[in-house]
């Protein structure tokens, strides 16, 4: 290996995160951040818009701690790319978040997120049924060993928070991210989540909506609220609570539902059928369809005969008129939302939130949703075509892949003829994709 010497330039400016130029274009041109922040006034020695830009820039690099801002306070390219006039210190940034968290969430971050998705005209792919799916789910954040406000015992058996996420379309656009105390059940105040998410979804698509919810949301209030929404259907996993599985097996046998049963292997048979239930709510009577699936096992996976049959019962409430198997398959795809949760937790390093204040952590989570949508759009525009850096074929890219391929791109800042240029290396495999995304964001 040759002996390579190191030196630092005193005049030339380089960056290892040229992708901030793409983030800044999304945030400023399509998110209308300055116009949204204008009614709030400057807010301090540094504008609210610059406060938002600087932290989104950190999240787009997978950095969530306040102290990381110190590394870019004198970074000329970081500030130029995001349109920042001045960057706060980490301590003052923390204070500003603590002082104005709720105001920034309600009046800046949420409107900016919706405005950006609308102006970008983001791709929202419907299901084969013609519905656009809405997947809502809680995903606990482990914050064990901390004394942060409202950190408490979660159903995952650790101390933390229990945020609620709502995703739209097969791409998984984040249209709601709400931080909840760890001890909260996912159903608590869920009616407000449905209401807000429905309003946002209607601003982005006119297609019918299909809500997919797990068994923690098997509540009559939810069923009625979703039934009364125009253009909405749902599939909600049934919570059998204390009902006996053997009772449902006997029910299927007595009503002759065996003719619908399949035998996936010797000693196991699976059958599905539909039941209708009348439920009363505030003086009105509703009839709901529930698809049932009963699985009976007389032989286990290892071929061992069982003295007593194992019976498993599952159910799904739905307003769809599709066949039982189709509805079950549509619900099964709801599990994809777990991948979106992991992108928040690991790719953007948001599981252990940085503040001791609950409202500040809620602001950070909402900024994470805004950044998540920015990176997702950049990935869809730049990393799926033939000129993208070589990767395995896919319908979408993880946020981490977008960071690796387009955020962490090295470039040199050149000032020439009263213009600014970013010069990329001769062997930069991402340049073609980067250039295409930039032109699309700035000139279209």
Q: The tokens 């995001």 sit on which residue?
A: 82
Would you tell me the crossing angle of helices 48-59 and 358-382 to the nearest 10 degrees? 60
> pLDDT tens digit string along 331-377?
999 998 889 999 999 999 999 999 999 999 999 999 999 999 999 99
Reading the chain (444 residues) residue by residue, the pLDDT tens digits are 778 878 777 777 888 899 999 999 999 999 999 999 988 887 678 899 999 999 999 999 999 999 999 999 888 999 999 999 999 999 999 999 999 999 999 999 999 999 999 999 999 999 999 999 999 999 999 999 999 999 999 999 999 999 999 999 999 999 999 999 999 998 999 999 999 999 999 999 999 999 999 999 999 999 999 999 988 999 999 998 888 888 888 888 777 666 666 677 888 888 888 999 999 998 899 999 999 999 888 888 888 888 888 889 999 999 999 999 999 999 999 998 889 999 999 999 999 999 999 999 999 999 999 999 999 999 999 888 877 776 777 677 899 999 999 999 999 988 888 888 889 988 888 899 999 999 999 886
Instruction: Give yes or no for a contact between 407 and 60, defined as CB atoms under 8 angstroms apart.
Output: yes
pTM: 0.93
Separation between Cα atoms, residue 235 and residue 293, nearest integer Å: 14
Number of helical (H) and strand (E) elements in the chain, helices listed first: 14, 15
Separation between Cα atoms, residue 102 and residue 88, nearest integer Å: 20
Residue 194's nearest CA partner among 215, 172, 209 is: 209
∠ CA 381-384-386, nearest 5°, is: 115
Instruction: Give yes or no for a contact between 133 and 127, defined as CB atoms under 8 angstroms apart.
Output: yes
Residue 26's nearest CA partner among 105, 117, 108, 87 is: 117
Q: What domains are there in the chain, each with its CATH number?
A: 13-121+355-443 (no CATH), 127-237+320-353 (3.30.420), 239-316 (no CATH)
Residues 6+ apart with CB under 8 A from 415: 421
Q: What is the DSSP string of 87-114?
A: ---HHHHHHHHHHHHHHHIIIIIHHHHH
Burial level of 444, CB count in 10 A (0-12/13-18/19+)? exposed
Q: What is the DSSP string of 270-290?
A: EEEEEEEEEEEETTEEEEEEE
């Amino acid at each position: 290996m040759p002996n390579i010497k190191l030196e630092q330039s005193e005049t030339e400016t380089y960056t290892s995160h040229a992708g901030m130029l793409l983030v800044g274009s999304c945030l400023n041109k399509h998110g209308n951040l300055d116009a949204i922040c204008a009614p709030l006034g400057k807010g301090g020695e540094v504008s609210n818009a610059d406060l938002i830009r600087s932290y989104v820039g950190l999240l787009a690099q997978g950095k969530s701690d306040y102290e990381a801002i110190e590394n870019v306070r004198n970074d000329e390219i970081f500030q130029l790319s995001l349109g920042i006039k001045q960057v706060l210190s980490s301590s003052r940034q923390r204070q500003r978040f603590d002082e104005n968290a709720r105001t920034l969430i309600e009046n800046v971050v949420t409107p900016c997120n919706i405005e950006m998705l609308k102006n970008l005209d983001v791709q929202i792919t419907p299901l084969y049924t013609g519905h656009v799916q809405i997947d809502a789910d809680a995903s606990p954040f482990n914050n064990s060993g901390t004394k942060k406000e409202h950190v408490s015992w979660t159903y995952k058996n650790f101390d933390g928070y229990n945020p609620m996420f709502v995703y739209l379309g097969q791409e998984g656009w984040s249209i709601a991210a709400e931080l909840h105390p760890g001890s909260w059940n996912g159903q608590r105040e869920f009616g407000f989540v449905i209401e807000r998410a429905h309003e946002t979804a209607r601003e982005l698509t006119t297609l019918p909506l299909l809500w997919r919810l797990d068994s923690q949301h098997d509540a009559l209030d939810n069923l009625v609220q979703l039934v009364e929404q125009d253009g909405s259907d749902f599939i909600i996993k049934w919570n059998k609570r204390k009902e006996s599985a053997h009772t449902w097996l006997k029910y299927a046998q007595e009503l002759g539902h065996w003719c619908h049963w399949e035998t996936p292997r010797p000693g196991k048979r699976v059958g599905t059928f539909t039941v209708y239930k009348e439920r009363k709510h505030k003086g009105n009577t509703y009839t709901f369809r529930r698809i049932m699936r009963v699985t009976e096992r007389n032989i286990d996976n290892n071929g061992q005969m069982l003295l007593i049959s194992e019976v498993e019962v599952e159910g799904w409430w739905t307003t769809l008129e599709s066949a039982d198997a189709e509805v079950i398959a549509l619900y099964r795809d709801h599990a994809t939302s777990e991948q979106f949760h992991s992108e928040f937790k690991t790719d953007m390093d948001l599981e252990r939130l940085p503040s001791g204040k609950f409202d500040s952590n809620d602001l950070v989570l909402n900024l994470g949703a805004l950044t998540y949508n920015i990176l997702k759009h950049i990935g869809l525009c730049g990393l799926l075509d033939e000129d993208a850096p070589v990767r395995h074929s896919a319908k979408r890219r993880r946020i981490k892949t977008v960071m690796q391929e387009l955020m962490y791109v090295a470039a040199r800042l050149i000032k020439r003829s009263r213009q600014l240029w970013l010069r990329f290396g001769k062997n930069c495999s991402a340049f073609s994709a980067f250039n295409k995304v930039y032109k699309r964001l700035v000139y279209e």
